[in-house]
Amino acid sequence: MSPVPLPEPARPLDASYALWLRAREVMPGGAAVIGVYLDKPHPIYFARHEGAYLWDVDGNRYLDLRSGYSGLGVGSAPEIRDAVIAQARESTHLYPSTEKIIELAQLICDAIPSVERLHFTDSITKATNMAVRIGRAYTRREKFAKFVGAYHGVWDGAFFGVPARMESGPVMDKAVRGIPRSAEQDIVLLPFNDLAGCRRIIEENAADLGSLLVEPVIGDGYILPADGFLQGIRELCDEYGIVLISDEAITLGLSPAGSQGYFGWEADLTAMGKLMGGSLPIGALGGREEILAVADPSRGTPVPDGSTFGAHPLSVAAGIASLKLMTPAIYARLHEVGQQVRDGVAQIAERRDVPELSATGVGQFVNLHWNSGEVRRYEDHLACDRDVMRAIDRGMLWDGYCGPGYGRMHLSAAMTDEDISGLLLSLEKQVVRVREFT
């Protein structure tokens, strides 16, 4: 089997290249965020975002398959920008309390039955970290569990068993570079979609296990929970007195109540961000009043937290606008466009006789795979040919379809049927190309 070559850029990128040369003088590798994958031959710098489209500094247009990494369900909407502009005219920083914070909290509490109270942070990384801390305080047990392959932000404890692209080791029990091995003593790794395996591991650790952190849909590969799996995890946590935490960073966009509304289950605590901030920086932790009472300063010494930018007024304004735009028709459209892509992938695989090609996901979230078998478990996703997927991603980028990489797509309701048709045509062209090398 020959290596699958990456296609050369098919668009003028002179302005992006010039900016990259400047960036390398002031940032490690020229990357705006440490650890973010650097596109080859260099990053593309973007200048404008409207609806479902992005424009780079060279004037090239792309269909936005990132959609704020799931935070822009309606695409780049003028209503969200107008809300931010209006708030900026009043103030760019009001702390710690404003009426709009209450309005945003009310919108979320009304939408998610398991969220009785809401605590704001400045990021969802902070929210998942705070959730585990509250779980410890509430149960007086120090360990927490998470699933292999799940990503919960960039804090030390959660950086075990993270997505394979973060190089955490083939068995997923090795820490990401820079994370101390001492963090390992507090974490228990669980197999996703293996309820029997989860029961065995939880029983072994129950005396020390305070909380269980779950991505309802594993974001690396968009692996769906098997029927009854989330409900089974709920029962296990009830049986052993463990605080169940749902990380809805991505899945908040599946329904007004996120994954809990879509799959029919309930968490004790819910960490969220992205969509609830209109893709501006924000995080929140909601859940049962009884549990969040340990963080209530009016009831004594609370679990400590500090956040200069928690519930930042610009993010709150964008969040209110974002959630109000998420009507039943928008949720329906998001599920429609996602299914159009997944169905289209299946048709391409059949038409081109490429059984290796498949797509997983739910709603507007799609992940392409190149694998000899079905992708039902996270281990199946690890077996996919990443070189092929990287080549497909790159070819689609030069066709004008800009995604997060690794075969992932975050679609938006701003996309038209014609946009989806063009996306699938580009995908089919790339599949035909890479098939020559596999």
Mean pLDDT value of segment 36-44? 70
Strands across the sheet containing 187-190: 117-121, 283-287, 269-273, 243-247, 209-214, 143-147, 187-190
CATH 3.40.640.10 domain span(s) along the chain: 78-325
Chain segment 373-413, per-residue pLDDT in tens = 888 888 888 888 989 999 999 999 999 999 988 899 999 99
Burial class of 384 by CB neighbour count within 10 A (0 to 12, 13 to 18, 19+): buried
- pLDDT score for 169: 45
Gap between the Cα atoms of 428 and 229, Å rounded: 34
Identify the CA nearest to 200 among candidates 191, 213, 212: 191
Chain segment 119-159, per-residue pLDDT in tens = 999 999 999 999 999 999 999 999 999 998 898 988 887 87
78-325 has which CATH code?
A: 3.40.640.10
- pLDDT score for 310: 84
CATH 3.90.1150.10 domain span(s) along the chain: 44-74+327-435
**The tokens of 347 are what?**
């048709």
More confident residue, 212 or 166: 212
Mean pLDDT value of segment 184-194? 90
- pLDDT score for 438: 78
44-74+327-435 has which CATH code?
A: 3.90.1150.10
Chain segment 267-316, per-residue pLDDT in tens = 999 999 999 999 899 999 999 999 999 988 777 667 777 778 888 999 99
- pLDDT score for 414: 97
- pLDDT score for 164: 61
Q: DSSP label at 268?
A: S
- pLDDT score for 38: 53
In this prediction, residue 173 has a pLDDT band, given cuts at 50, 70 and 90, of: low
Find the helix or strand (DSSP H, E) in which 419 lies: helix 417-435
Gap between the Cα atoms of 148 and 158, Å rounded: 10
Cα first-last separation, the chain:
6
Q: pLDDT above 70 covers what percent of the chain?
A: 93
Taking all residues of the chain, what is their mean pLDDT, rounded to a whole number? 91
Chain segment 81-122, per-residue pLDDT in tens = 999 999 999 999 876 678 999 999 999 999 999 999 999 999
For residues 419 and 63, the answer to whether their CB atoms sit within 8 Å is yes
Taking CB atoms within 8 Å and a gap of at least 24, the contacts of 384-389 are 384/221, 385/356, 385/438, 386/165, 387/3, 387/4, 388/4, 388/356, 388/434, 388/438
The alpha carbon of residue 372 and the mean position of all alpha carbons in its chain are separated, in whole angstroms, by 26
